[in-house]
A and B are shown apart, each in its own frame.
Chain A
Amino acid sequence: MTEVQRPSILVVDDNHDNTDIIRHYLEVRGYPITVAHDGEEALAAFEAVRPQLVLLDVMMPGRDGWEVCRLMKQHPALGKGVRIIMVTALDEWDDKRQALQTGADDYVSKPFDLAKLAATVERNVALLPAGT
């Protein structure tokens, strides 16, 4: 296979419409996508698929995105290699501080501007360690 291997992305959102849109949009751009719809599923998929990038919605029933983000970043084997983009509006200063506390690397606001989403994904992909 000659195609360049794009890094795999885990998309987490409890809204199926959102995950469908994002999956389609990013798959067309060549990213292997895995989808999860709640925190538990996201954590299991994180261990199984070992994505290099996670798009993580904050508002989810059960474990919310912040908690999932912290757990992923604290993962002994995978935490250091993953970049996490929170899907939420971080308007206030302390929202951003809170995001930093959980280890998040970037954020993108809802509702989706797909071009912006792609740009955000790309600038994070560019920072992934070489050879992954």
Chain B
Amino acid sequence: MSQNVLLTDAAEPAVTEAAALLDGWRAEVVAPPDLAAAVASAPGVGAVLVATGNPNALRDAVEAARRRGAPVIVGCPDDAVRRRALELRVDEWFLLPATADEIAARVRSAVARRVPSGAALHDRVGRVEYESMLYDFLTGLPTLPVMIERSRALIKERGELVVLYLNFVRYSKIEEIYGWEKLDAVLETTASAVQGFLAESALSTSRVMVSARNDDDFVFFHVPAAGVAVATDAEITELVRRLERHVAEKIEAQHGEEIATLFDIYVGRAHVYYNPKMRLERLIYRGIREAANAAKGIEERERGRKVADLRTALRDRAVYIDYHPIVVAGTREVFGHEALARGVMRALRSPEVMFEVAAEADLIWELSRLCRARAVEGMQSKLGPGELLFLNVDPHDFADPVFNEEFESEIAEPHRIVIEITERTAIKEYPKFRERMKALRARGYRFAVDDAGSGYAGLGSIANLEPDFIKLDMSLINCIDTNFIKQNLVETMVRFANDQKAMVIAEGVERAEEFETVKQLGVHLVQGFYLHRPEERQEEERLAARG
């Protein structure tokens, strides 16, 4: 059996012991002045351990090792040698004297990660770049060119291939709301759920390959194993159904219902038959297109069904309101509640989905009216005396004639209502907006700017709206305890609000650390799952809405 040689000028027993601790290594000790020459000529050198205090001898040994491509570990008798070793960018160093364990660990890690330098380094960067194009960086799945190359021979041999196109539809701009880290995490969950599912499925005996096509769609190739028939349509339909459920469950388990309801998965399929007259890549790409179109078709049918559901919901007033408490940061006393409307039917549970469907079907005013009416109706029973109701109002609602009537005459206690408008849209509509806001202010309503800090617009545009409350965008609160830039932004916002006599609300507070951090930064009010258990309340509401 060939052994790796740890070539060294250190005569200490600890070094020899260290080599014995490493599997398949032995130490070879030479006199310090001979080290560089030995590095150049000795056979089987796996790593070089230099312990000399002579800076020139150290440099010569390092250069010789570099020419050979062997990693260098330096035992440093003093700080000067340590600094010298760092300058020479050696792979590892330790302070002398050291135990055999310590030395062995240094050798191991130096061998595991060689610091490439010069031309080797740039070569490596180039290679890494190309490799990264072949595999999806997030999921580690192969990209299409890799898949096609891998399946070429198989398809020729088996004669056919099933392409499944998994269309991953996300409602609302999840990235805009929660930040890209969240979407990345969800996509990672999806990829691992898909891979896990396929490994355990009946198809695993045949050849299944998965590819991440772009940021959110997946493609599977199913090539039957030798002697096994390609899966029948019925089998694939069943498989797809279970896959959809499996992925949805995994997302819900890891990211919560709130996120899970923002996604839908539609799977389209196509058969590709090998034809020697045609180029295989073309056949496959055509198959993928066909499967993608099929998925799109299913999505459109589903949307049609959702619109029908929404019409039914509007007729039956089947919307329930989730009242999210907003508490005073210092005392945790309830200050008010944000009304969040949800559909009673599962497909419309998420407000983002419900409003998106309404926008497509041109039912947005009707839906908004219903949600507002239900929210105000619940004030008596759900809110304590004096607690405020935060109502989400979209800019297009201001154009709704019924909205104006409602707020002019129908609402009994305007001073208990805070109208939330979102920074994202408020900025564009600004002149007309101020006009309307002025009239409503005169009636006693107050205003909150929602999602503040979500865009690049800065504080000026918020100041123009003269809000009574500033609701910080959730992306600023998520993990604020470990991000100093977020802390700095929130601090700035609090200072600004104090100047404007406005109050800052931190939304999306989910952890104790986040709560403590925003409290310390001077945030006045706090909202988020950390402060209440939404599931219980939702369940209660759901029952009430049915009864």
Contact = CB atoms under 8 A, between A and B. Distances in A.
**Do A and B form a real pair?**
yes
Interface of A: 1, 3, 23, 27, 32-34, 40-41, 43-45, 47-50, 74, 76, 90, 92-94, 96-101, 103-107, 120, 123-124, 127
B459 A93 contact: yes
Interface SS of chain A: helix, strand, loop or mixed? helix
Given A32-B86, A105-B482, A106-B484, 7 more contacts: A1-B95, A1-B98, A27-B86, A41-B121, A100-B475, A106-B485, A123-B484
Contacts of A33: 86
A92 B179 CA distance: 20
Given A76-B138, A105-B484, A44 B121 contact: yes
Given A43-B125, A106-B485, A98 B456 contact: yes
Given A1-B102, A3-B95, A98-B456, A127 B482 contact: yes
B433 to A, nearest CB: 21
Interface of B: 83, 86, 89, 94-95, 98-99, 102, 113-116, 121-122, 124-125, 128, 137-138, 140, 179-181, 184, 453, 455-459, 475-476, 482-486, 488-489, 492
Contact of A49 (B83, B113, B140, B484): B113
A50 B109 CA distance: 11
A97 B453 contact: yes
Contact of A96 (B102, B124, B140, B489): B489
A123 B137 CA distance: 30
B138 A44 contact: no
A3 B484 CA distance: 29
18 contacts: A1-B95, A1-B98, A1-B102, A40-B125, A48-B113, A48-B114, A48-B115, A76-B137, A76-B140, A98-B456, A100-B179, A100-B485, A103-B181, A105-B482, A106-B484, A107-B485, A120-B484, A124-B484
A105 B86 CA distance: 27
Contacts, number: 83
B253 to A, nearest CB: 20
Contacts of B115: 34, 45, 48-49
B483 A105 contact: yes
B485 A90 contact: yes
A105 B481 CA distance: 11
A105 B125 CA distance: 25
B247 to A, nearest CB: 20
Nearest to A80: B181
Nearest to A104: B485
Nearest to A90: B485
B95 A101 contact: no
B122 A96 contact: no
A107 B265 CA distance: 40
Contact of B456 (A44, A48, A74, A93): A93
A109 B113 CA distance: 33
B299 to A, nearest CB: 29
A96 B488 contact: yes
A50 B459 CA distance: 38
Nearest to B488: A96
